[in-house]
A and B are shown apart, each in its own frame.
Chain A
Amino acid sequence: MSSLLEVNNIHTFIGQFHILEGVNVEVEKGSILALLGRNGAGKTTTLKTILGLTPPRKGSIIFNDKEIQGLPSYDIASMGIGYVPEHRAIFRDLSVGENLKIAERKKGDLAGKEDLIFELFPDLKRLIRLPGTSLSGGQQQMLAVARALVPDNKLLLIDEPSEGLAPVLIEQMMEAIRKLSAETTVLLVEQNFIVASKLAQKYVIVEEGQSVKQGLIEDLVDDKETIHRYLGAA
């Protein structure tokens, strides 16, 4: 399999702070890769750097055989990267339907994906006219994932999908992501190791702004020492 995304030794600064000090990630087409690590290790910044929201000062990012570092975010996103940020970022002043509609990159994107979206998240169908504010946390998370599905994205960057969700909803979310990965590639940031281990095939561990360890997730499950060292409790 060839790799869809290659992140080579990126260094990112926010203000004067050196946040990423060399992160390497390689995501293969059609797979799920989990980015693991403690709070503040630089996982979210890695996603933002890939998307150009916090452009890297050094290093290269290759997506679909093209260098994308330094391009404006909207160009990068338009190449086929969907982003589900931490804390969902649902637009409050837009209805649920508009929250989906705004993600269209060409007319008819939404119409073509409606079936898939409502199959994954049946709840959204009856909420479609409500304002974005009136949704519960779980519903907002689903909407955020659904929004990333509207255009034809080759890669989804999903940041902490299980954060703050009730166990039942986590199950539903995991199910949805598993179904998704049949068609797209997913780069997942996840604090909850159990969730990550059930979803992903491979992992990369980020520690203090550096990628320190990578491999198959099934090898990591039994490696209690590594889990304890980099992820705290397991």
Chain B
Amino acid sequence: MQSAIPNLENRQNRVLDLLKANSGLIAVFLILLAFPFIVALLNGQSFSAVLNNETGNAKFLQGLMIEVFILGVYAISYDLILGVTGLLSFGQAMFFAVGAYVTGIAFKKLGLGIWATIGLVVVAGVIQALLFAVVLPRVKGITFALVTLGFASVFFIVVKTNELKDYTGADVGLQGVIAPAFLDTNKERFVLYIISLCFALVVYLVYRRFVDSPTGRVCIAIRDNEDRALMLGYNTFTFKLVVLIIASITAALAGGLHAIHQPIVSPNIASLAFTVAALLIILIGGIGTLTGAYVGAIVFRLLQFYLDKWFGEGANFLLGLVYVLLVLFIPYGIVGTWRVHSFRVKQGRQYLARLLSGGAYQPVDAEVEE
């Protein structure tokens, strides 16, 4: 991955370098910004149709893309835990669902404003991360996964019980979450689209920065060999805790956005199946690559949508099959595989250069272990 290396000579160059280093990202952002307008154009609508929320393909695809952004943010938070830090957790769906339920209840039952709600979601995110972290110093690997699975399952069962029907809506879920008017998914689709896009972008940038920071490097070291990281004098518990808190808050915020966009909170998003969805997304995209979470989210959502459309009931079966085949044959996912290949391509180019120039052949460092 290219990272911005600031040129200290002068400020102008620095900005230019930053732009250059992130040109791909900026291009993607601009394309996504223009995306609703392009769709509208292709469908014979005018640009104002997008701004006025006229029904049509443009609006529909914006809705789909909002879901992709939400899924992407949700998946990237899981990637941080699993792919970057190497903590196997089966509680990601709970992180997401807590955000969604808190948002729903705050709007519907407590009548809170948007900022208070966001504050509440963040607090809830921190609390559940701390809950998961209770066993963190003592329990490792699979056992930690089992504990998280236990917590998440209890949460799933609890939101589905009739005792809490007034708050969670039990089996049916929380219906009719009324978001502030400027976020209404039906009337202000384009605004929500832009907000989701920016949200996804900001999360990505923060995560990128985190992984490239010294703290992030330690997290990767923990994934590769925790004992070694411990021996180097790092208190790995603190790092894992920080990662859990960041991931939990991110997922909870994504859940909140989900509650606003849907605007129904179904208990399904708290089930193990939804954690598996996150796993599937980062598997498609490539574990530990961050970018892969978004790539995976697009592929996953489109796959889900079209399989549903074409095969109806059989869609889940096919999705499961895709998943198994991915694990068996494309373990690095799209982004990961592409990086392995681009490494080979680079190597080949250098080899060619050596042949032509007769100079010394300098092998490039492997980015992804084969």
User: Are A and B close enough to touch in the complex, i.e. CB under 8 Å?
Assistant: yes
Q: A residues touching B (Cβ–Cβ < 8 Å)?
A: 15-16
Give Cα distance in the complex from A16 to B370, angstroms.
8
Number of interface residues of B (CB under 8 A): 3
Residues from chain B with a CB closer than 8 A to the CB of A16 are 366, 369-370
When C-beta atoms are compared, the residue in chain A nearest to B366 turns out to be A16
Interface string of B352-370 (1 = CB under 8 A from A): 0000000000000010011
Q: List 4 A-B contacts (CB under 8 A).
A: A15-B369, A16-B366, A16-B369, A16-B370
When C-beta atoms are compared, the residue in chain A nearest to B370 turns out to be A16
When C-beta atoms are compared, the residue in chain B nearest to A16 turns out to be B369
Give Cα distance in the complex from A15 to B369, angstroms.
8
Residues from chain A with a CB closer than 8 A to the CB of B370 are 16
Give Cα distance in the complex from A209 to B34, angstroms.
58
Residues from chain B with a CB closer than 8 A to the CB of A15 are 369
When C-beta atoms are compared, the residue in chain A nearest to B369 turns out to be A16
When C-beta atoms are compared, the residue in chain B nearest to A15 turns out to be B369
Q: Separation in Å of the A33 CB from the closest CB of chain B?
A: 35
Residues from chain A with a CB closer than 8 A to the CB of B369 are 15-16
> Which residues of chain B from 327 to 370 have any CB-CB distance to chain A below 8 Å in the complex?
366, 369-370
Give Cα distance in the complex from A23 to B366, angstroms.
26
Give Cα distance in the complex from A23 to B162, angstroms.
71
Q: Separation in Å of the A178 CB from the closest CB of chain B?
A: 40
Q: Separation in Å of the B330 CB from the closest CB of chain A?
A: 20
Q: Separation in Å of the B323 CB from the closest CB of chain A?
A: 27
Give Cα distance in the complex from A16 to B366, angstroms.
9
Give Cα distance in the complex from A15 to B224, angstroms.
13
Residues from chain A with a CB closer than 8 A to the CB of B366 are 16
Give Cα distance in the complex from A16 to B369, angstroms.
7
Give Cα distance in the complex from A15 to B366, angstroms.
12
Give Cα distance in the complex from A167 to B191, angstroms.
81
Give Cα distance in the complex from A15 to B370, angstroms.
8
> Which residues of chain B from 218 to 256 have any CB-CB distance to chain A below 8 Å in the complex?
none
Give Cα distance in the complex from A123 to B242, angstroms.
54
Give Cα distance in the complex from A16 to B224, angstroms.
14
Q: Separation in Å of the A21 CB from the closest CB of chain B?
A: 16
Q: Separation in Å of the B365 CB from the closest CB of chain A?
A: 10
Q: Separation in Å of the B87 CB from the closest CB of chain A?
A: 22
Q: Separation in Å of the B47 CB from the closest CB of chain A?
A: 53
